[in-house]
Amino acid sequence: MRVGMGYDVHRLTEDRDLILGGVKIDWEKGLLGHSDADVLIHAVMDALLGAAALGDIGKHFPDTDPAYKGISSILLLEHVTKLLREHHYEIGNIDATIIAQKPKMAPHIPQMRANMAKAMGINESQLNIKATTEEKLGFTGREEGIASQAICLLNERKES
């Protein structure tokens, strides 16, 4: 068994789509980043890569590489899952938290879980996503950005 944790944050800005868990959320601002800036998926990928001692998303998907400009983080998550399999790991479970004052995340969480579980080839019961505010405190409370944290458990896969 191996555990990993991940954290990501992006600034909110106008004229960008808000994408979280592969879901486009209708809201007045989106997250600024080189890719689609999906902080939820980025935190999950960092947790998975960390548990497998494979570095972080910056190592695998540098923001200096034009190939990743605007890319869907779902595609990056599929790639990370492939790396895990190549290194003989399987996902036990993932628990993730979105930290945002607005918009409300609860209506979107079922679709986030479905999108991400499909990308990783796992059952939705292996992935928990929740959301919280910071009671108007800090940069997330002031609606300047959105953050996400994730923790995961990997199991070493037995060779057949």
Kindly state the greatest CA–CA separation across the chain.
52
Q: Is the peptide bond before 103 cis (omega within 30 degrees of 0)?
A: yes
For 110-148, the pLDDT digits (tens) are 999 999 999 999 999 999 999 999 999 899 999 999 999
Delineate the domains of the chain, giving CATH numbers in brackets.
1-154 (3.30.1330.50)
pLDDT for the residue 157: 85
Token pair, residue 2, equals 């191996």
Count CB-CB contacts under 10 A for residue 83.
Answer: 16
How does residue 160 score in pLDDT terms, banded at 50, 70 and 90?
A: low
58, 46, 36, 141: CA torsion to nearest 10: -110
pLDDT for the residue 158: 77
Rounded mean pLDDT, 9-35: 95
C-alpha dist (Å) from residue 120 to 26, 33, 48, 106, 116: 25, 23, 11, 22, 6
Residue 46 has pLDDT above 90, yes or no: yes
The pairing of strands 18-20 and 23-25 is: antiparallel
- CA 61, CA 38: separation in Å to the nearest integer? 13
For 52-111, the pLDDT digits (tens) are 999 999 999 988 999 999 899 999 999 999 999 999 999 999 999 999 999 999 999 999
Give the residue numbers of the binding site for a divalent metal cation.
Answer: 8, 10, 42
Give the residue numbers of the binding site.
Answer: 8-10, 34-35, 42, 56-58, 61-65, 100-106, 132-135, 139, 142
pLDDT for the residue 159: 67
